[in-house]
């Protein structure tokens, strides 16, 4: 990553890196996510009006915020084990979290310093954005 990209991450808390994955891997991930949603949750991305409410079953926040608790399907592990992605993640960890020695240092961590180059993969939940009107409708159904 460039110094500018690292600075952007430190300032914004997020970094978009264009062309990290080849188009074929992105298409494979999108297709596989759709299959995971359909087979595991009965969510058809081409029919979210009728099936989108099932997304609440994959969310610790009942679907709020567009975050799904999908961690280990093979297609996701393929992305998580991408060497270039992990090298970039290590760079960001080093700049954002390593070597904070006092509580006043934003990089300080209560468990102490850690080796930013030691790790295997980074696994997190999945962002899945619903159209706002549909998300509001699902939320209203959950409350009633």
Asked if residues 105 and 116 have their Cβ atoms less than 8 Å apart, the reply is no
Question: What pLDDT, in 10s, does the model give residues 113-135?
Answer: 677 777 766 677 787 777 778 87
Question: What pLDDT, in 10s, does the model give residues 30-52?
Answer: 999 999 999 999 999 999 989 98
What global pTM score does this model have? 0.75
Share of the chain above pLDDT 70, in %: 78
Q: Check pLDDT > 60 for residue 64.
A: no
Q: What is the pLDDT of residue 61?
A: 67
Q: What is the pLDDT of residue 33?
A: 95
């Amino acid at each position: 990553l460039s110094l500018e990209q690292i600075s952007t991450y430190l300032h914004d808390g997020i970094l978009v890196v264009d062309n990290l994955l080849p188009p074929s891997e992105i298409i494979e991930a999108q297709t596989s996510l759709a299959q995971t949603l359909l087979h595991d949750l009965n969510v058809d991305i081409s029919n979210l009006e009728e099936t989108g409410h099932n997304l609440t079953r994959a969310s610790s926040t009942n679907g709020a915020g567009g975050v799904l608790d999908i961690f280990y399907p093979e297609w996701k592990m393929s992305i998580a084990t991408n060497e270039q992605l992990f090298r970039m993640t290590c760079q960001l960890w080093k700049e954002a979290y390593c070597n904070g020695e006092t509580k006043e240092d934003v990089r300080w961590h209560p468990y102490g310093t850690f080796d930013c180059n030691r790790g295997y993969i980074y696994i997190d939940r999945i962002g899945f954005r619903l159209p706002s009107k549909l998300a509001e409708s699902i939320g209203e159904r959950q409350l009633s």
